Structure 1
């Protein structure tokens, strides 16, 4: 038990700079090809700390590190890009792509746009009227996680917006001075609504017109003092929303007085409750509708609609400290870790990913 609590407290220590890397927002096919870049340098391996994994429309992979920039792999060559190449920061928190094939690199210091040739930094426009919009091709970021700021990119401008404040002091016992609205997770549901998970203020859903707030104590500060936060928002095959924990899921009920219902997610055994971490920091719904969730040092969890299964992930010497999970276009799962690079799903489980190089062919 002490082992798992130690790991969750370490996760909380890095949480102010961490963003779940599971925001895989689908967009329309690319309209034009981009040129091959000549910047960056060829390297032979990935950094041990990989916090983001992404596959672009061409099939290339991008791996974002926690301090050595971003890595680009086209199946033949591995290249590394850093601040020397135009990145605003070497700490990567998220990677997305727009309908034109431009790649966007999210960092604690802002957002870079890569057009296939060079990196540029998006200038933030503070919306004085705080007008929220929700368009199909918008990209969303939380950047450095300041206060209750989120950022919407409409293809032209990057707008800074503010989540609506709630009476969290009376509802959750949280003071505003604690920056409770700091955003961790951003995900879209099947209906196109955008969800924001926070450190202490629960979760918000924006449908393009109004907000739904889920302010439950299990999503805020726990009785033992832990602050897991809502780092990842998942939707299961029944349309229920999972907010970074295995205990509860939320049924959204339009036209109801409360608008949602909290229900038990899964039946947890005494062993799991006693020895495992009940909160996950990254998750996805795969092509078959299964939920996959990662915990920091607690392995990978799979929920198939009936059973919750745990798969321990280690390299023979130590448990992997899992940061993110990602599914590529072939349905293969990838794991980004904080201590041993990237792991790729195989028929036998997960194995460490070692990029191949032209010189080795």
Structure 2
């Protein structure tokens, strides 16, 4: 029993690596499975098309899939990923793919995985002392990860003065505006970093009512400099210069009987916004947990149910690819493309007609 306990302790110690002690899985260790159609069923949380045109599709529980236009290749913790829940996918200037998971970051380069875990024991408070264009979720902690090309830094959020033990500052989304600022959505506040200092947008600064709860799930910096803030309960907030309004409420998309919490919304409402994107024509798209997709063209809002059956699964993510196609990742593991009028299911092999 003593020997077994020592073995277990050593195994656990090897799992949690410091950011400076990165774990690398070599190509010969990686055994992947392949298919001719996307096989995920647990939900699509991230979609990314790299500079070579390949697609990387991140799931909620089943790891990540690489699609080269012909076949799908799958990677999970068994093949080297840090975790099977994928939260973000990026590419750096050298063509390396960076995968943010629920338990640290995995870098994929020529068949090799290198892991970078969040080291909360070495927090940094002065953000200006770090650099790097890659930002990542740091789990449910009170900070964010920034990679400088060598090390992964854990940067602490300057919390609002009115914070309570119930406030959570786990990162839910990250957006970069055209002026170079980084907008970081957390459940309890929105943070903005301009390269020198961090600004806080909490419930008070965002003009929330006393009975409203800030629960941010998405953020979008559009081409006009506006900041869209998607919430789980109170819909969309819009920051346009110094003006902040509840966009959903302004357009009568919060039901009169709504609790403005996490309850299921009625049809025709925009209360639980987990994903947002701007298309090539400047339209703003919202993915609602309960009511499908919404398009705002600057004047009119149009609601689209996305489904191939009677159900209306939640939209986890909306992504604009290299050809300006708008892709919608769904809770049921499917991906749809908007063709200008309707939604077409993607990444499937249709049976040939003989």
- Post-superposition shift, 1:248? 3.5
2:260 corresponds to which residue? none
Structure 1's 266 and 64: CA in aligned 2 closer, same or farther, altered over 3 A?
A: closer
Aligned-residue CA RMSD in angstroms? 3.0
After superposition, residues 23-42 of structure 1 pair within 5 angstroms as 39-42=31-34
Q: Which is greater in Rg?
A: 2
What is the CA–CA distance in structure 1 between the aligned matches of 2:236 and 2:65, rounded to whole Å?
A: 36
- 1:321 alignment partner, one of 297, 310, 314: 314
- Post-superposition shift, 1:340? 4.0
- 1:183 alignment partner, one of 159, 162, 171: 171
After superposition, residues 269-280 of structure 1 pair within 5 angstroms as 270=252, 273-274=255-256, 275=266, 276-280=269-273
After superposition, residues 89-168 of structure 1 pair within 5 angstroms as 89-124=83-118, 127-133=122-128, 138-146=133-141, 148-168=142-162
Greater CA deviation, 304-313 or 345-354? 345-354
What is the CA–CA distance in structure 1 between the aligned matches of 2:194 and 2:73, rounded to whole Å?
A: 39
- Post-superposition shift, 1:162? 0.5
- 1:297 alignment partner, one of 287, 290, 294: 290
What is the CA–CA distance in structure 1 between the aligned matches of 2:248 and 2:60, rounded to whole Å?
A: 33
- Deviation >3 Å, runs of 4+: 123-129, 133-137, 217-225, 245-248, 263-275, 354-357
Gaps in structure 2 of 5+ consecutive residues: 1-26, 257-265
Greater CA deviation, 136-145 or 82-91? 136-145
Structure 1's 215 and 136: CA in aligned 2 closer, same or farther, altered over 3 A?
A: same
| 1:129-174 C-alpha deviation (Å, 9 max, x unpaired) | 422139885110113222x1200012211101111011124xxxxx
Structure 1's 319 and 329: CA in aligned 2 closer, same or farther, altered over 3 A?
A: same
After superposition, residues 216-255 of structure 1 pair within 5 angstroms as 216=203, 229-244=215-230, 248-252=237-241
| 1:212-256 C-alpha deviation (Å, 9 max, x unpaired) | 22222597998778x56222222345422111155541133xxxx
Give the TM-score of the pair, scaled to structure 2.
0.78
Which of 1 and 2 has higher RCO (CA within 8 Å, sep 6+)? Answer: 1
8 Å contact 1:248–1:262 — kept in the other structure? yes
What is the CA–CA distance in structure 1 between the aligned matches of 2:160 and 2:249, rounded to whole Å?
A: 32
- 1:281 alignment partner, one of 267, 274, 285: 274
| 1:25-48 C-alpha deviation (Å, 9 max, x unpaired) | xxxxxxxxxx9x974211243212
2:61 corresponds to which residue? 67
After superposition, residues 75-90 of structure 1 pair within 5 angstroms as 75-90=69-84
8 Å contact 2:45–2:317 — kept in the other structure? yes
1:265 corresponds to which residue? 247
- Post-superposition shift, 1:84? 1.6
Aligned length: 308
8 Å contact 1:320–1:340 — kept in the other structure? no
Gaps in structure 1 of 5+ consecutive residues: 1-34, 170-174, 253-259
Q: In the alignment, is residue 199 of structure 1 matched against residue 187 of structure 2? A: yes
